[in-house]
Homo-oligomer: A and B are copies of this chain.
Amino acid sequence: MKIMRNTVQKTIVLETVNSLRNHATADAIYDEIVKTHSSIGRATVYRNLNLLSELGEIKKIEMPKGADCFDHRTFNHYHAKCLKCGKILDVNMEYIKDLEKLIKKDNGFEFTSHDIIFSGICTKCKYIN
């Protein structure tokens, strides 16, 4: 069987996501890492971000439109995206597990997860032209 090796790159990627703590894209995370580890490859960052999210150590948020984001918070929660500045905010609202049960009955579809994404204008952008 295939074993998983610990590499400095893997550690750095995880630590960077944990330190940034705000829905950074893979490229933003790469840019941050490159500042101190100039030789790291972009594909390595992408690879490890996906790996870490499969391991459940970070959470991948696949946004409609635009790049995927990575969050240090691993529990299920919802997101809002500002249509002006593009920032992703956490939405302070309980994860509605019932939704999946409700729909399964109706469609025979076997659900594994759901995402609610709110779109609108954030408070900062509201008062900027």
Contact = CB atoms under 8 A, between A and B. Distances in A.
Interface of A: 62-65, 68, 80, 82-83, 89, 91-93, 99-100, 102-103, 106-123, 126
A49 to B, nearest CB: 14
Contact of A114 (B82, B102, B116, B126): B116
9 contacts: A62-B65, A63-B64, A91-B103, A92-B106, A93-B106, A107-B123, A108-B123, A109-B123, A111-B118
A14 B24 CA distance: 37
Which are the 9 A-B pairs with shortest beta-carbon distances?
A62-B64, A111-B120, A108-B123, A114-B118, A110-B121, A112-B120, A62-B65, A110-B120, A116-B116
Given A93-B102, A111-B120, A114-B118, 14 more contacts: A62-B64, A63-B64, A64-B117, A80-B111, A99-B116, A109-B120, A109-B121, A109-B123, A111-B118, A112-B121, A113-B119, A114-B119, A115-B117, A116-B116
